[in-house]
Structure 1
Amino acid sequence: MKPQYLILAIASLAAFAAPDLAAAQEQRPPVSQCQAIAQTIPKATLASFSGAPLMPAVSEGEDVKLTFLGHSTFEIETPGGIVIATDYNGWYRPATMPDVVTMNKAHTTHYTLTPDPGIKHVLHGWSDIPGEKANINLVVGDAYIRNVTTDIRFSYGLGGAHENGNSIFIFEIAGLCIGHLGHLHYELTDAHYTEIGRLDVVMVPVDGGLTMGADSMSRVIKRLRSSLILPMHRRGPPVEAFVSMFGKDFDVANAPDASITVSMRTLPKKPLIYVLKGVQ
């Protein structure tokens, strides 16, 4: 075959192969950067990322804004403008229509079966198929969203447990690993910690009993060793009942408002329990 014909033949084959290659890349599941160091060390306490002291970030494209809207609903805004609402029940809403909402099945304060039809991605933390787990692996804009399921008690502890009825949602954004523990009823196992991996920021329920008691929840937080701990879901006991479980290895601060902006570069070096306005 003459060289010019050989070149044409190779080009033609490449043209046919390119769409198949692109399709394969699109179907390939995303890779979690937060899980990468956890796969072979199931009993390890994972170290959080140590950045600079918490301060306003100055460079563009790295800031993630978290706003407490109420109960266990946070608005997460990514550098690319994606808006996510956690434990969305339709009562606490971001100012703009969220692109993504996550839900848990513990109580109607954590989900709605009639979300606004304008919401593009409605992610249930439970499966409607008995015996199956919810399996979330979704990329929306500059956010990768995945989940780790846990069991929950039926309403107010009546009737035993609902297997895999809760999801810990994990949002990987701008290098940050952000976790929302949902309606956590039981202490996490080694397998859970391995699935979760590193969490730089964690939203944790501090009601002291509707989820887990302060002592049990504090053990979870101490093992996760996140840089930034955001209390939520406070019912009854003051936040101080949760905070009192931590010693000198953790800093505590009350926020002047309901929002915080954070990046990989501005994470606190020492774990910080940061109580946003509205949670106090």
Structure 2
Amino acid sequence: MFNAAQFPNFVKIAALATVGIVGFMQPAAAVCQLVAENAPFAPVRVKTALAPHEIQIRYIGHSTFEIETPQGVRVATDYNDSVRPAQPPTVATMNGAHSTHYSLMPDPEIKHVLPGWNKDGGPIDHDLIVKDLRVRNIQTNIRGWDGESRRLGNSIFVFEVADLCIAHLGHLHHRLTQEDLTRLGQIDIVFAAIDNSSTLRLESLIDVLSAISPAMVIPMHFHFHGALEAFMARATSEGYEIKMAKDPQLIISRQQLPIQKTAYIMMPGGS
């Protein structure tokens, strides 16, 4: 269980019981109510610089992705002590399910550490702007190892940048309410745990994805044997096009979002 008293670096954690930090510079360039301008899906291989309308996504492993913005802001999702990007991110989001989703000793160079749960219980609300990125959260409930429900123990983090809206579902354990969906808004890309075991069961996950209706789903958390194959088969039956990535990184823009809803399968290994 998370214990902030164990590490003083968490003075950097954004507002454990209040609205999160707001950085300065300029507002993020995405509004989640925008609808994608569909075009043929053409994923781009990694390159040295991003255009103003592009983002780069790297799949580090487990539930950790690194998102890089045109202005060089880097986010690590479910930042933990086992699977990390090679360089400290600008922003680290974490969830409290278990130790592969949070860190007790985040790198002191991380400027913004955002836990998805309040160690004292109750709500925690983040709304952070750093240069061209906005990060906000929607809390959901979670199950403990004892099977008991832990209210507000998980957060869906939403990243708004370059006219794209990306949601990391975290360690989601239940279907979303209409209020949750309204707060999410229009989401273009979803990072979804597909283990079919410790998070949502596959049928419930498909229901959640149908309700969110993103253009792209990027699976994560598929460490259980057969989980990825089961998800691909079920997604295909729901009309998803399956795309297998050649690399653990992707450069994409709003104009490159697929016309047909797509499950984009990335193997861990980004850095």
Q: Structure 2-normalised TM-score?
A: 0.82
Matched, 1:255 2:245: yes
- Secondary structure in 1 aligned to 2:109? coil
Q: List structure 1 runs of 4+ shifted beyond 4 angstroms.
A: 29-32, 56-59
**CA, structure 1 residues 129+238, in 2 after alignment: closer, same or farther (shift >3 Å)?**
closer
Counterpart Cα distance in 2 of 1:182 and 1:248: 22
**CA, structure 1 residues 248+164, in 2 after alignment: closer, same or farther (shift >3 Å)?**
closer
1:214 counterpart residue number = 202
1:241 counterpart residue number = 230
Q: Deviation per CA, 1:59-87: give whole Å up to 9, x if none.
A: 82111111110100001001111010000
1:95 counterpart residue number = 86
Which of 1 and 2 has higher RCO (CA within 8 Å, sep 6+)?
A: 2
| Equivalence map 1:96-175=2 (5 Å) | 96-130=87-121, 132-155=122-145, 158-175=146-163
- Tell me which moved more, 52-61 or 175-184: 52-61
Query: Letter of the aligned partner of 1:171 in structure 2?
Result: F
Counterpart Cα distance in 1 of 2:71 and 2:29: 19
Q: Work out which of the two has the higher radius of gyration on C-alpha atoms and give 1 or 2.
A: 1
Contact between 1:66 and 1:260, CA under 8 Å: does it hold in 2? Answer: yes
1:186 counterpart residue number = 174
Q: Deviation per CA, 1:87-140: give whole Å up to 9, x if none.
A: 00032222222100000000111001211111110000001232x211000001
Overall identity of the aligned pairs, in %: 39
Q: Deviation per CA, 1:26-56: give whole Å up to 9, x if none.
A: 7xx989721x48xxxxxxxxxx524211225
Matched, 1:273 2:260: no
Counterpart Cα distance in 2 of 1:234 and 1:198: 25
**CA, structure 1 residues 70+30, in 2 after alignment: closer, same or farther (shift >3 Å)?**
closer
Contact between 2:28 and 2:131, CA under 8 Å: does it hold in 1? Answer: no
Query: Letter of the aligned partner of 2:161 in structure 1?
Result: I
Q: List alignment gaps of at least 5 residues for structure 2.
A: 1-23
> What's the CA shift for 1:248?
5.7
**CA, structure 1 residues 129+95, in 2 after alignment: closer, same or farther (shift >3 Å)?**
same
Contact between 2:30 and 2:165, CA under 8 Å: does it hold in 1? Answer: no
Counterpart Cα distance in 2 of 1:59 and 1:183: 30
Counterpart Cα distance in 2 of 1:164 and 1:129: 11
Q: Deviation per CA, 1:131-153: give whole Å up to 9, x if none.
A: x2110000011100000000000
1:41 counterpart residue number = none
1:10 counterpart residue number = none
Q: Deviation per CA, 1:142-200: give whole Å up to 9, x if none.
A: 10000000000012xx1511100000000000110000000001111111111111110
Aligned residues: 238
Counterpart Cα distance in 2 of 1:86 and 1:245: 26
Q: Deviation per CA, 1:223-254: give whole Å up to 9, x if none.
A: 21111110000122331211222336311111
Counterpart Cα distance in 1 of 2:109 and 2:263: 35
1:33 counterpart residue number = 31
Matched, 1:225 2:213: yes
Contact between 1:136 and 1:145, CA under 8 Å: does it hold in 2? Answer: yes
> What's the CA shift for 1:278?
3.0
Q: List alignment gaps of at least 5 residues for structure 1.
A: 1-25, 38-47
- Secondary structure in 2 aligned to 1:244? helix
**CA, structure 1 residues 93+197, in 2 after alignment: closer, same or farther (shift >3 Å)?**
same
